[in-house]
A = this chain, B = another copy of it.
Amino acid sequence: MTVGIVGAGQLGRMLALAGYPLGLDFLCLDPARDAPAGRVAPLLHGDFTDRRLLTRLGRQCEVVTFDWENVPVSSLRAITRAHRARISPPIAALAAGQDRVAEKRLFERLGVPTTRWRAVSSRAQLTRAIDALGLPGVLKTRRFGYDGKGQAVLRVPADAERAWRALGTVPLLYEEWVPFDCEVSIIGARSTTGELAIYPLCGNVHGAGVLRLTCAPFGPARWQRLAARYLTRLLRHFRYTGILTVEFFVRDGRLIANEMAPRVHNSGHWTIEGAATSQFENHLRAILGLPLGATRALGHSAMINLIGQMPALRDALAVEGVHLHDYGKRSRPGRKVGHLTVVEPTARARDARARRLLADLAVGVRIP
């Protein structure tokens, strides 16, 4: 059985590595010849809109998934025209996640608390949005945002003009700034059979818009229940198949949805060593209609992203219990090139380990 992956980044790579033990084969499509998943699985090298390659993917695979939320919806539709591969997760979920306005409306419709927002497509609308929601706020592109890209924080009225000049060429949305206590995410799978499996809540710390640290399990049981309830609404709404992730701000014990990602998620990388079944394996099980694996945590995990360049392999492996994941990418400032995970028997031991590792790696973030 061959699973197609549109996009051959680190998520595709870890999907393939999780799928091989299940006896699955993989075929990726990516415009980068040296894409991370292309080093562990066959790669169709070409543009995401290359009809010939999309048709090949659709013909050679039983099911096609994607490892990037900005894959053109039209590309996935083109794959279905090969009349073989199913697309999973559903295209509708991808489409909703690609448009921040559609996403916000969906959250509201399903009773998932989210930040207040206004669509902005003119300078005048931006002024009205700031009047309505106040400052500070965040101006975001409706589409193609990830890892803090396509965003500008507005703190004082004068910031509006600068932000408009930077982003105003495309449809935007203005959101209130939530002075959050912490950020969490919930990751869960729904299988083609309707079976659900939801992971323990993740506590996330970002730096410069990029995830730096995830600790899991995280937070009180009440947060877990709330997050799982909201996630379940979304999974059911889409008759979703695969892993879906929702990120929340936590403010005074309330969960406020920030965004969703219709895919395995960086904040779930700890599940490779830290959960009974990894998010990658459960994504594959879910899209293939196989029984889902247990999502329980095996201990207390911390996952630290390695940004820009990998530490020396020798140094990283010298630290007992560190599980290293090198994505095989070239170094580049701000780029996610790998991550490491530690699993400890207690949250206290985990936090102590994470603190030392963050210091060693000179990552300036604090344990949540």
Contacts and interface: CB of A to CB of B under 8 A. Distances in A.
Contact of A318 (B17, B291, B327, B328): B291
B310 A23 contact: yes
A314 B328 contact: no
Interface in A77-131: none
Given A13-B20, A25-B39, A39-B25, A314 B291 contact: yes
A309 to B, nearest CB: 12
Interface in A258-307: 276, 285, 290-291, 293-294, 298
Contact of A17 (B21, B39, B326): B21
* Count of identical protomers in the assembly: 2
A298 B273 CA distance: 11
Interface in A332-355: 338
Contact of A326 (B21, B318, B320, B328): B21
B17 A20 contact: yes
A22 B39 CA distance: 13
A144 to B, nearest CB: 29
A328 to B, nearest CB: 6
A111 to B, nearest CB: 32
B313 A290 contact: yes
Contacts of A17: 17, 20-21
A132 interface: no
Contact of A324 (B22, B314, B324, B325): B22
A124 B318 CA distance: 57
Nearest to A318: B291
A291 B310 contact: no
A317 interface: yes
B310 A290 contact: no
A40 interface: yes
Interface in A188-247: none
26 contacts: A17-B17, A20-B328, A21-B323, A21-B324, A21-B325, A21-B326, A22-B313, A22-B326, A23-B310, A23-B313, A23-B327, A23-B328, A23-B338, A25-B39, A25-B328, A40-B40, A40-B41, A276-B320, A276-B321, A290-B313, A290-B317, A291-B314, A293-B317, A293-B320, A294-B320, A298-B298
The 8 closest A-B pairs by CB, nearest first: A23-B326, A291-B318, A21-B325, A291-B317, A290-B317, A20-B40, A23-B328, A294-B320
